[in-house]
Structure 1
Amino acid sequence: MNVRGGGLPTFLITGVAAFMASMDNLVVTTALPTIRDRFNASLESLEWTVNAYTLTYAIFLLTAAILGDRFGRRRVFVGGVTLFTLASAAAAMATSAEMLVLARAVQGVGASVIFPLALTLVVQSVPQERRGMSIAGLSGMSGLAIAIGPWIGGVIVELGDWHWVFWINVPIGLVLVPLALRFLSESHGPYGRLDVRGTLLVTLGLLGVVYGMVRSTTLGWGSPQVIVPVVAGAALLVWFVVFEGRVPNPVMPPRLFRSRGFTLSNLVALLVQGGMFGAVFLLTQFLQHVLNFSPMGAGLRTLPWTMMPVLVAPLAGMFGERIGVRRLMVAGAVLQGGALAWFALVVSPEVSYLVLLPAMVVAGLGMGLFFALSARQTLDFVSVEEEGIASGVNNSMRQVGVVMGIAVLSGLFASTGGYASPEEFVSGLRPALWAGTAILALGALAALLTPARPPAPVARIEEIKPLRTVESG
């Protein structure tokens, strides 16, 4: 195996980058009380410390995949790591809440570049028989990073200073950039020209929808500041779909969504990610607000949940083809839905942690299956040359699912409960958990309806127009 473009170096470089970027989704949450005291920040400023990252991360995932296909996946990936590293340093040096929010927004842009291109670079660096394991490993690392981010943040804050939540990324980024330039191979997508209007339409459309959902957690779904951007964003996305059917070089070929497998596998990603992470957002607060565990203590008690994907994802990647990817995806959604139903049945201000433990293990098993196989299932329904854009779509759906899940479940929590007392918190948490269970049930149904395999060999674009591949060196 040649060193440049080799599977193992590519997996290690992209895996570390994806872990770093994914972890910063929620790593700052446990540092928020300290940041509030340091900057005398308002509640809205604290919320935007998290939301600014989530917003830009969700919006630019698909745009990043488009730009990678056009200008070179390695080149754009390195640019994303560089931007993320610089923004992390800016966040660590922030002298006001406003500066921190701006730095977090730029961090999110860098992170949105990293993961979809990391997945494409990994898939192209390994032979077909190792593709499933590579996707499972990369997806598992990303999912684990999101899950343990709050615990890592709690450890850093309790043992050191909140600035190190961001400083820790800087040396990692400084090492990754030269390694990526040295070991990763360059490749491009099938189209030589950039569809500027289509790129702008999909970016602005996602901005409206995601911004509205983010604002709904504090303003409610009836607020004009929520309704207007969501409706405008949805209209732009409809315009985007119509426009893409009329251009010779679409950023997202409409025929992809004429594939039932591609459409349903992305719907599964949206629903499963939304149902589970919407619940995780509230359950981590339950451990601290109701059961009175410290940030570090709460994080330690979620390890049976968050560490299960480390064990399960490699096995799912190894046996996915033998058992069936569709079967395992259905099982993953059912296990997670069953775990949330268990939580909903037993949560109370006096519940013992040991009563919650079995559901945490079951939820971790389901998450491991989902993390390992979601991207792989989507890529099964596209050609090799379309894997970049397909990866961007899948990751956009997953991240939009996170925003949607948090918005929907938090809105339901706020309408039926609150933070005034443990009893009131549980009153809001229980119906939110049942809603998450219902979302995961829909995800299981969508997974069941997804074809087990592509119905016919996928047409390869390279038969029409050769794929440009560059070995720079």
Structure 2
Amino acid sequence: MSTSTTTPARDRPGLVLTAIAVSQLMVVLDASVVNIALPAIRDELGFSPTGLSWVLNAYTLTFGGLLLLGGRAGDILGRRGVFLAGIWIFTLSSLLAGLAPNAWTLVATRALQGVGAAIASPTALALIATNFTGPARVKAIGVYGSVSGAGGVAGMILGGVLTQWTSWRWTMFVNVPIGVFVAILAARHITPSDRATGRFDIAGALLSTVGVTALTYGLIRTPTNGWDDPQALITLAAGVALLAVFVLVEARHSAPLMPLRLFAHRNRVSANLLLLLLGGTIFGVFFFVTQFLQNILHLDAFTAGLAFVPWGVGIFAFSQLIKPLSQRFGVKPVLIAGALCTAAATIWLSRITEHSGYWTAVFGPMTLFGIGIGLQFALITRVALSDVPPQIAGAASGVLNVSQRLGGSFGLAVLVAVFGSVVANADHHPADITHGYRVAFLVGIGYTVAALLLAVFGLTTAPKPAGQPAPSPAKAPA
């Protein structure tokens, strides 16, 4: 049993939403802002070619591995306090990362950043579920979705600006004033939530953390070591086995880390699968389009980042249309329209050649991706969190975040493996490299088509738009 209740945002809901949205922007930015700074980091700190990847991997491992634990911790220990702890860990580790004197200090502090992100990100989403109700919640989820969808693009642009005009260290330092700002807003304006009763699920915490970490590590290794790498295969198998045991433990625990009743609703399962597929598409497109822009079109890092501006503009523009469109046509048709846009964009990219230019081969797909993600991200979040009891909102948010992170890692690993097999025996001529990109995009079409089919056949009756009575669970499960 739980004493948790939904508590509306206190005196200034706009400031509550600002704290939540900016915290999510900071977390999403950090996953991409460092990419463009990697060459400068390598030169200054003396990373080896293989060691450099751990600047990204250390963050990904701890972030993905601790998401379920971070989400549930907010339910049990109180969301505002856990959110503040995550923000302060992230902020202080960002400061230490910017001051890192050597390579492995940077890797260690990046891992600590991932810990803070894993605590703050699912808790931020749960705070929306417990601080906002009715139309205000729909609006808040829309803002959260827009920030999450466009943060990666903003990170690439910001990373180019900071690295080119200041130092790579500012890709870390920039988080410090933002984190302090968020912490002050949250402490002053977010209402403390009631805590869920019951003991902490230690076994579930250990199994999920080690299992997701092992799975993430195996997926990280495959792009550079191949799918036949023994260490990758062992860790992948261990991750799957541990997560299987985790499910068995959760089924018997009185206060599980991941309540299995979250998966009792078809729409909620479909929403998590949609985000899994969308994550794989986003990671893959970011990676291969960036490679094409720099390796084939020979754009510098800053200009390559600017090339994604249509993506960000599309997300912000069309996320603003979600409310009127869903009120007029319903949630499911809008999600289908978004899935059609991302599928069309991937098909367009699969026609790329070494003679293609930005305006003929990249601008159009980037615009379509922005429109598609803008129409989908917030609505997927809304469907996944619809009718979730407040006392397990953190767990539901953690599952949603894990879906996106694992989808991105797995989706990218598959596409990179496909690309590597295509160019393995090639002469590395631009035509050969571009052919590899094209084949990767052809496989990526499978992600977007699967998402489209899931939107059409997986979703039943989605939640009604804001301002209309919610359907009863018996007739239209959320």
Decide: shared fold, TM above 0.5. Answer: yes
Structure 1 window deviating more from structure 2 (177-186 vs 70-79): it is 177-186
Q: 1:3 offset after TM fit, Å?
A: 7.5
Matched, 1:93 2:118: no
Tell me what 1:46 maps to.
52
**Pick from 146, 149, 152: which aligns with 1:143?**
149
Matched, 1:440 2:422: no
**Pick from 233, 237, 241: which aligns with 1:227?**
233
Distance in 2, matches of 1:289 and 1:134, equals 39
TM-score, normalised relative to structure 1: 0.92
Distance in 2, matches of 1:144 and 1:378, equals 20
Q: 1:81 offset after TM fit, Å?
A: 0.4
Q: Is the 8 A contact 2:9 2:131 kept in 1?
A: no
TM-score, normalised relative to structure 2: 0.92
Q: 1:319 offset after TM fit, Å?
A: 3.5
**Pick from 354, 357, 360: which aligns with 2:359?**
354
Q: Is the 8 A contact 2:339 2:452 kept in 1?
A: yes
Q: Please state whether the residue corresponding to 2:50 is helix, strand or coil.
A: helix
Residue segments in structure 2 that go unaligned for 5+ positions in a row: 1-6, 464-469
Closer/same/farther in 2, CA of residues 189 and 253 from structure 1, 3 Å limit: farther
Distance in 2, matches of 1:189 and 1:92, equals 36
Closer/same/farther in 2, CA of residues 246 and 2 from structure 1, 3 Å limit: closer
Tell me what 1:462 maps to.
none
Q: Please state whether the residue corresponding to 2:405 is helix, strand or coil.
A: helix
Closer/same/farther in 2, CA of residues 289 and 189 from structure 1, 3 Å limit: farther
**Pick from 157, 163, 166: which aligns with 1:157?**
163
Residue segments in structure 1 that go unaligned for 5+ positions in a row: 460-473
1:226-274 per-position Cα deviation (integer Å, ceiling 9, x unaligned): 1111111111111111111112111222222132222111111101211
Which letter maps to 1:354? W
Q: Is the 8 A contact 2:280 2:447 kept in 1?
A: yes
Q: Please state whether the residue corresponding to 1:155 is helix, strand or coil.
A: helix
Tell me what 1:284 maps to.
290
Structure 1 window deviating more from structure 2 (22-31 vs 138-147): it is 138-147
Structure 1 window deviating more from structure 2 (438-447 vs 254-263): it is 254-263
Tell me what 1:19 maps to.
25
Q: Is the 8 A contact 1:56 1:112 kept in 2?
A: yes
Matched, 1:130 2:140: no
Q: 1:84 offset after TM fit, Å?
A: 0.4
Q: Please state whether the residue corresponding to 1:75 is helix, strand or coil.
A: helix
Distance in 1, matches of 2:65 and 2:333, equals 31
Tell me what 2:467 maps to.
none
Q: Please state whether the residue corresponding to 1:350 is helix, strand or coil.
A: coil
Matched, 1:119 2:119: no
Which letter maps to 2:269? T
Tell me what 2:340 maps to.
334
Closer/same/farther in 2, CA of residues 304 and 281 from structure 1, 3 Å limit: same
Matched, 1:407 2:413: yes
Identity %: 36
1:9-58 per-position Cα deviation (integer Å, ceiling 9, x unaligned): 11001111110111000111111111111122111121111111122111
**Count of aligned pairs between the two proteins:** 458
Which letter maps to 2:209? T
Tell me what 1:471 maps to.
none
Aligned-pair RMSD on alpha carbons?
2.0
Aligned ranges for residues 306-455 of structure 1 at < 5 Å? 306-345=312-351, 347-356=352-361, 357-417=363-423, 420-448=428-456, 449-453=458-462
Q: Is the 8 A contact 1:6 1:125 kept in 2?
A: no
Closer/same/farther in 2, CA of residues 339 and 422 from structure 1, 3 Å limit: same
Q: Is the 8 A contact 2:126 2:393 kept in 1?
A: yes
1:165-208 per-position Cα deviation (integer Å, ceiling 9, x unaligned): 11111111122222211111111454332111112111111111
1:389-430 per-position Cα deviation (integer Å, ceiling 9, x unaligned): 111111110111111121111111111127944223212111
Which letter maps to 1:452? T
